[in-house]
Structure 1
Amino acid sequence: MVSRLSTRLLNICIASMCKAQQLVKAEVVLIDGIRLGVLPDVVTYNTLIDAYCRVISIDAGYSVLHRMREAGINPDVISYNSLIAGAAKKFLLARSIDLFEEMLQVGIHPDLWSYNILMDCLFKLGKPDEANSVFRDIILGDLHPNRATYNIMIDGLCKNGYTNNALMLFRNLQSRGFVPHIVTYNILINGLCKARRLTAATRILKELEISGHEPNSITYTIVMKCCFRCKQLERGLEILSEMRSKGYTFDGFAYCTVIAALVKTGRIEEANDIIEQMQRSGIAYDVVSYNTLINLYCKQGRLDDALELLNELEKAGLKCDQYTHTIIINGLCKAGNVEQAQQHLYYMSALGFSFNLVAFNCVIDGLGKAGQIDRAIKLFQSMEAKDCFTYTILVHNLCRARRYLFASKILVSCLKSGLRTLRATERAVLDGLKNIGFTNEARKLRSKIRLSRLLR
């Protein structure tokens, strides 16, 4: 009895240290316990496995398995579940599957949690058929799927483009007596919204209300964002009003969703009103909030305010992301401050950000519109990657500068790289070549355009 109590106390102490991420102290407690004659058990080592996976690495967690075996303690299903879950959280999905197979090889029978994690990993790896096979094994086996199992299936099907299958599964479960909770409804509504099936999402939302469950702020925000994405701005604002009338507390994400939609549709004054409401509510800004406000100020031409917000963001201890700097660069280009935009592009690289195609495209367009087409060409040639927008931007600016022959060469290189070109872009170059008397070049270009379309 004393030994059991002592081991339990040892486990409580180690768990407390692990929760505080004090792994060195946890190891000291373990060593001291062994010296005092208090022997660890499988729970002790499982606690360490989970902590090492969370705080350090999967390899560190996996090394605890060897220590367990040396101590004469066999790992159990919880040991492997902790490793599999830890690998999945660090997006080492293939490693999770390897650990699952290893568990089977050493003779440990997976439990429902093991299968749930495995299904989630397979969906994230883009293997919905294999995930569905695991689900079938659960149904046909001795295990009984729980709410988490169904949520993983519905979410995974939606994220892999099988929204109809997710909806069919949801209906099938309902017919068998499954009573979905708010989390399940939110997952399905989110999947339908991302597939732009607003009508179906709205229908599920109404079902949720009828079922006796109260939609939460996440539910409304998902549908509201879908309305904005589907260009149903008024419907989105109606949902915003409904949220207010029901007394929901908005988070920064909900506010930013509304502000971004209003800015995109040019309703700047209404966006400013929402910002004032956001400030009055006392919500602390995160990077997304700052990006939304910076974008608004850039749209209004208030570059000084946008740069001030950038400084404020950094003083608040937040890290700017690539999107933050891209917004600033785009704003500077549209304001005609191309020199400063290009400097900010190099500053972005100096900060260690990876190559940002959108930012480069903005600067090329800015240089072209400022009449500095040679600098735009030079920047274009220095780029390590290009997309169809890069080519289109340069071609249109070359046409604006009446350099149709060079525009033709850029257009041909775009076609050769396998990228699609807009008909308006092709027409601009062809018409330009004809206007300056290069009809043969126009005829050759038209033939190459037709050939590229046939090869697609």
Structure 2
Amino acid sequence: MVCKLSTKLMNICVASFCKLQQLEKAESIIIDAIRLGTLPDVVTYNTLVSAYCHFVDLDSGYLILNRMKEAKIHPNVITYNSLLSGASKHSLHSKCIELFNEMGTMGIQPDVWSYNILIQCYFRLGKPEEANMIFHSFKSQNLSPCSTTFNTMFNGFFKTGYTHHALSLFRSSQRNGIFTPELLTYNILINGLCKSGWIRAARMILKELKESGFKPNAITYTTIMKHCFKSRKFQEGIEVFNEMKNNGYTYDAFSYSTLSSAFAKKGRLEEAYRIFKLMTEKGIEKDLVSYNILVNMYCIEGKIDKANDLLSEIQEFGLQCDQYTHTTFLDGLCRSGEIDRALDYLKYMDTLGFDSNLVAYNCMVDRLCKVGCSNDALRIFERMEVKDCITYTSMVHNLCKERKFLTASKVLLACLNRGMKVLRGTQRVVVKGLHSLGLYSEARKVQYLFH
């Protein structure tokens, strides 16, 4: 009895340290317990497997199985579910399938969560047919799919372009009474249908949501708003926002940001500012998305100092400026003609540790060309370690505008030799320009690579 209690206490301590990501301390607890005569059990090792998979990597979690073997403790379905979850988390989807098959060879019966993870992996691998086969095998395994199973299926079908299958599964599960949708389900359906362009079906689902007794939340309405604005149905999007507000539905900073962003894109900055004012009056704190929209609006108006003040305010409120924030401010500096300051800011961005400042560099190259500083743009272009087709296309277009067709052709050839695609219109402009300068040989080189 004492041993069991001691083991239970040890497991509680190990779990606590694992949650705090202090795995070394968790390991030391196990070592000390063994010295005192208390041996770890399957729960102890399952806790370690889960922690290593989540906070370190899959291999570290899998190595725990060797320790279990040495201790003559057999892994169970919880052990492998942790490994499956770890493989999925680290996007090792093929490995996830291998682990699932390994369960079978070890005589471990998968449960609903094992199948849920496997279904998700097949969808992420772009194999909806296989995911659907797994779903329909539940009955033969004497298992009943849970709400997570259905939501995974709906979401997976939408993301792989099988919109009809998602809606068909939803309707059949309703008719058969095997699934009662939740608010999360309705949000997944509305989002997927909107992205697929099935607006009438999305509105029908929204109507069913209201009739089901659930209360639409900010995600529900914001999803529809975003689609309305994306489809240029501006007034309809505003009506959705007003309906949400007038009917007392929950709305948050994201809803306000969506609406203010739509106003800003239409050039209706005064109305966008009013949305933010209303947001403040409601006591809703601005998130990073809200700040980014405000920074962009100030930059559009040339209010660089106000935009700069916002960058400081973001830090003061405990948020962290992202690449979009910095790139937007950099673009604002360029728009305002503060090129030297923009160049200094670009150097500052290089010190922030982002994986790549490609968008910022592309912005800088384009703006320098547009203000007649193509030589400076070329210098930045040449020192860029990473370039994409936008970088090359922007450089070529701007060089052509300055009638520097020979330099433009060299940039274009470098792009083509890297296997990047460029619009044929860009090629024609370069070829025509080279012909106008009598550079027929260079023109043939460009034409040859396009064929």
Tell me the TM-score normalized by structure 1. Answer: 0.87
Q: Deviations over 1:156-214 (max 9, x none)?
A: 11112222221222222222223322111111111122234333322221222223322
1:104-138 Cα shifts (integer Å, max 9, x gaps)? 22221211110111111222233323322322322
CA contact (8 A) 1:388 1:421 kept: no
Structure 2 partner of 1:169 = 169
Paired position in structure 2 for 1:363? 364
Task: Describe the SS at the equivalent of 1:247.
Answer: coil
Question: How many pairs align?
Answer: 449
| 2:44 is the counterpart of 1:47 | no
- Tell me how far apart the structure 1 counterparts of residues 75 and 392 of structure 2 sit (CA, whole Å): 58
The 1:428/1:33 distance shift into structure 2, 3 A limit, reads closer
**1:225: how far off?**
1.3
Deviations 1:299-349 (A, max 9, x none): 121111112222232344433322122111211111112222222222212
**Which ranges of structure 1 fall in alignment gaps of 5 or more residues?**
none
More displaced stretch, 172-181 vs 33-42: 33-42
Which amino acid is the alignment partner of residue 340 of structure 2? E
Q: How does 1:338-377 map to 2 (within 5 A)?
A: 338-377=339-378
CA contact (8 A) 2:288 2:321 kept: yes
Matching residue's letter, 1:242: E
* Residue number in structure 2 paired with 1:227: 228
Output one character per residue of 1:279-316: Cα deviation in whole Å (capped at 9) or x when no partner: 23333444323222211211121111112222232344
CA contact (8 A) 1:81 1:113 kept: yes
SS in structure 2 at match of 1:180: coil
CA pair 350-17 structure 1, distance change in 2 beyond 3 A:
closer
Does the C-alpha gap of structure 1 residues 272 and 44 become closer, same or farther in structure 2, counting only changes over 3 Å?
Answer: same
Equivalent residue letter for 2:122: L
Shift of 1:273: 0.9
- Paired residues of 1:196 and 1:230 also in contact (CA < 8 A): no
Q: Does the CA contact (< 8 Å) of 1:120 and 1:152 recur in 2?
A: yes
Residue of structure 2 in register with 1:112 after alignment: 112
Which whole-Å CA distance do the structure 1 matches of 2:73 and 2:427 have between them?
72
Q: After the TM superposition, which of the residue ranges 83-92 and 227-236 deviates more from structure 2?
A: 83-92
| Contact kept? 1:415, 1:421, Cα under 8 Å | no
Distance 2:410 2:27 in 1: 67
Instruction: Give the whole-Å Cα distance in 1 for the aligned partners of 2:221 and 2:227.
Output: 10
* Distance (whole Å) between structure 1 residues aligned to residue 416 and residue 36 of structure 2: 76
Unmatched 5+ residue regions in structure 2?
A: none
Residue number in structure 2 paired with 1:250: 251
The answer as to 2:37 corresponding to 1:72 is no
Aligned to 1:420: 422
- Contact residue 42 and residue 73 of structure 2 kept, 8 A: yes
The 8 Å contact of residues 414 and 421 in structure 1, kept in 2 or not, is answered as no
Q: Secondary structure at the match of 1:342?
A: helix
**RMSD across aligned positions (CA):** 3.1
Q: What amino acid is aligned across from residue 347 of structure 2 in structure 1?
A: Y
Identity value in percent: 51
Measured in 2, the distance between the counterparts of 1:415 and 1:31 equals 60
SS of the aligned residue for 2:108 comes to coil
Matches within 5 A, 1:373-392: 373-392=374-393
CA distance in 2, matches of 1:395, 1:362: 14
TM-score in terms of structure 2 length: 0.87
C-alpha spacing 1:3/1:411, structure 2 compared with 1 (3 Å): closer
Question: Shift of the alpha carbon at 1:412?
Answer: 6.1
